[in-house]
Structure 1
Amino acid sequence: MEPLKIIAGDATSPQAKGPKIIAHICNDLGGWGKGFVVAVSRRWPGPEKEYRRWHRERAGNDFGLGAVQLVQVKPDIWIANMVAQHGIRTGSAGPPIRYDAVERGLEAVAAHALAHQASVHMPRIGCGLAGGKWERIEPLITQSLSARGVAVTVYDHA
């Protein structure tokens, strides 16, 4: 089991050697423009372009809650666009976060990480605009990634 590391820093600038996956949560509406995705787009235009295309062509692909799109931005860095937020507003069904979709997304990220001997880097996913609670997200990360030997670093923006 790899211990989960939480450090101060920028998740778009992962502090590790070797292959890296930067995981974050997207909504199921095709919207991209607030929160962590702004930092991703500032650094690499590809993930936003691919996410928007994935959503636009959703009738013929797997776009939906729990799906993950991996976009390679450097030879050793992938961005994992995890769809785990239903809509963008808190309503009668509670906050937009969908914990079951987070879990399915993390399982897909774990498979990619294990196949490429990659470490995984992320902000406190699901705890910003998605309205999730870290006490519910952290165990999902531990069970999906850390328990399978994947090194995970969570970044608290300094």
Structure 2
Amino acid sequence: MLPLKIIKGDATSPQAKGPKLIAHIANDLGGWGKGFVLAISRRWPEPERAYRQWHRDRAHNDFGLGATQLVQVRPDIWVANMVAQHGLKSGSAGPPIRYDAVERCLTTVAEHAAALSASVHMPRIGCGLAGGRWDRIEPLIVTALSAHDIPVTVYDFD
């Protein structure tokens, strides 16, 4: 099992050699405009464009909680749009994060990372606007990725 690495830095500028997969959480409403997605869009337009198209065509595809869309942005970098946030705000059902959806998304990310021989890079997914708790997210990452010897780096942005 590979240890989870946590460093200071920018997850849109992954610090590794070889193929890299950047994972982040998106909502199930098709909204893209706050949080880490803005950093992604500043660097590459493709993930936002693909996510919005995926949402628009949701009647004919797998868009929904637990689904993951992989978008290649450079020859050696892919962005994983992981739908694991229900809505945008906390309500009677708690924060928008859906841990079961995070788990399904991370399993899919692990499959893609293994097929690409890629390392995985991410901010503390689900812990910003989605309202999740790191003590619940981190074990999901370890189980889905680190336990399968997929290198994972989590970035704390200054």
The verdict on a shared fold, with TM-score over 0.5 as the criterion, is yes
Q: CA RMSD in A?
A: 0.3
Q: Which residue of 1 aligns with 2:85?
A: 85
The residue type equivalent to 1:22 in the other structure is: I
**Secondary structure at the residue paired with 1:2?**
coil
Counterparts of 1:41 and 1:76, CA distance in 2: 18
Counterparts of 1:156 and 1:5, CA distance in 2: 11
Spell out, residue by residue over 1:66-95, the C-alpha distance to the aligned partner (whole angstroms, 9 max, x if none): 000000000010000000000000000000
Counterparts of 1:92 and 1:130, CA distance in 2: 14
Q: Which residue of 2 aligns with 1:16?
A: 16
Unaligned runs of 5+ in 2: none
Q: Which residue of 2 aligns with 1:33?
A: 33
Q: Which residue of 1 aligns with 2:66?
A: 66
Q: Which residue of 2 aligns with 1:154?
A: 154
Q: Which residue of 1 aligns with 2:42?
A: 42
Q: Which residue of 2 aligns with 1:101?
A: 101
Q: Which residue of 2 aligns with 1:55?
A: 55
**Secondary structure at the residue paired with 2:70?**
strand
**Residue 102 of structure 1: how far off its partner (Å):** 0.2
Q: Which residue of 2 aligns with 1:2?
A: 2
- The alignment covers a number of residue pairs equal to 158
Spell out, residue by residue over 1:10-58, the C-alpha distance to the aligned partner (whole angstroms, 9 max, x if none): 0000000000000000000000000000000000000000000000000
Counterparts of 1:117 and 1:4, CA distance in 2: 17
The residue type equivalent to 1:116 in the other structure is: L
Q: Which residue of 2 aligns with 1:125?
A: 125
**Secondary structure at the residue paired with 2:124?**
coil
Counterparts of 1:58 and 1:73, CA distance in 2: 22
The residue type equivalent to 1:19 in the other structure is: P
**Residue 113 of structure 1: how far off its partner (Å):** 0.4
The residue type equivalent to 1:135 in the other structure is: D
